[in-house]
Amino acid sequence: MKVLAFAASLRKESWNHKLVVLASEIARREGAEVDLARFAEFGMPLYDGDDDRANGLPAGALALKRRLDAAQAILIAAPEYNYSIAGPLKNAIDWVSRARPMPWRGKSVFLLSASPSPMGGIRGLWQTRIPLEGCGALVFPDMFALAKANEAFEPSGQLRDRALAEKLVRDIVGFVRLAEAVAPLCAGARTLTTKVRQEKIEAALEDESRIQPPSR
């Protein structure tokens, strides 16, 4: 199973990037093929409906779409901005959601966050679930929030707190196992026996998408 992993932060020394690196290492030990990306690879302007209609997806959004299309599961370490989802991540979700078929649909997603606050960014993760689930992603019930992230890492990049490190392992192992089970049904390659049925389901979902308010 192929997993796309990235931290939705542009900061070079991002705590969220450090955390998603650890999560990626665990996923690899469990047999996943992990495509670890830097969010800066997906640079894109603010979503503009006129730009979308005139030019389609910008290069950064197309790059993210291609990486999503190649994966069955996604690890996202999402920073919390002012108690909510980070603007750059929301913008990327919005741009990519304009592609058809919907790139987020049927992909298993595990959300992590690292923050210097005592809450660990968990409030932002709850907000991040909303657009991803609205786009058809299968967001794992558990989430991992690392509090006081500025003090949480060893110089080696490992977590200082052994109990938290063990929890991260349990969470990622559980996610990988569930994503592996779900992928053949929701994000796997089509076979001749499933192709017609999948196309009918996708057509019904696209019809549902069209009843949403138009972009402005």
Q: What CATH number does the domain containing 26 carry?
A: 3.40.50.360
Quote the tokens at residue 67: 């990486």
CA nearest neighbour of 27 among 2, 52, 47: 2
> Which residue range is the domain that position 98 belongs to?
2-189
The answer to whether residue 17 sits within a structural domain is yes
At residue 191, the pLDDT reads: 53
25, with CB counted inside 10 A (0-12, 13-18, 19+), is: middle
Which regions in the chain score pLDDT beneath 50? 213, 215-216
Asked if 5 and 28 touch (Cβ cutoff 8 Å), the reply is no
pLDDT value, residue 203: 66
pTM summary value: 0.86
Q: Where are the alpha helices (DSSP H) in 98-142?
A: 122-134
Residue 55 domain-assigned (yes or no): yes
Query: Is residue 204 domain-resident?
Result: no
Decide if 67 is inside a domain: yes
Domain assignment present for 214:
no
Q: How many domains does the chain have?
A: 1
Q: What is residue 186's predicted lDDT score, i.e. its pLDDT?
A: 84
Is 100 within a domain?
Answer: yes
Which has the closest alpha carbon to 42: 85, 83, 76? 76
205 located within any domain: no
Q: What is the pLDDT of residue 185?
A: 82
Give me the pLDDT at residue 200, please.
62
Is 175 a domain residue?
yes
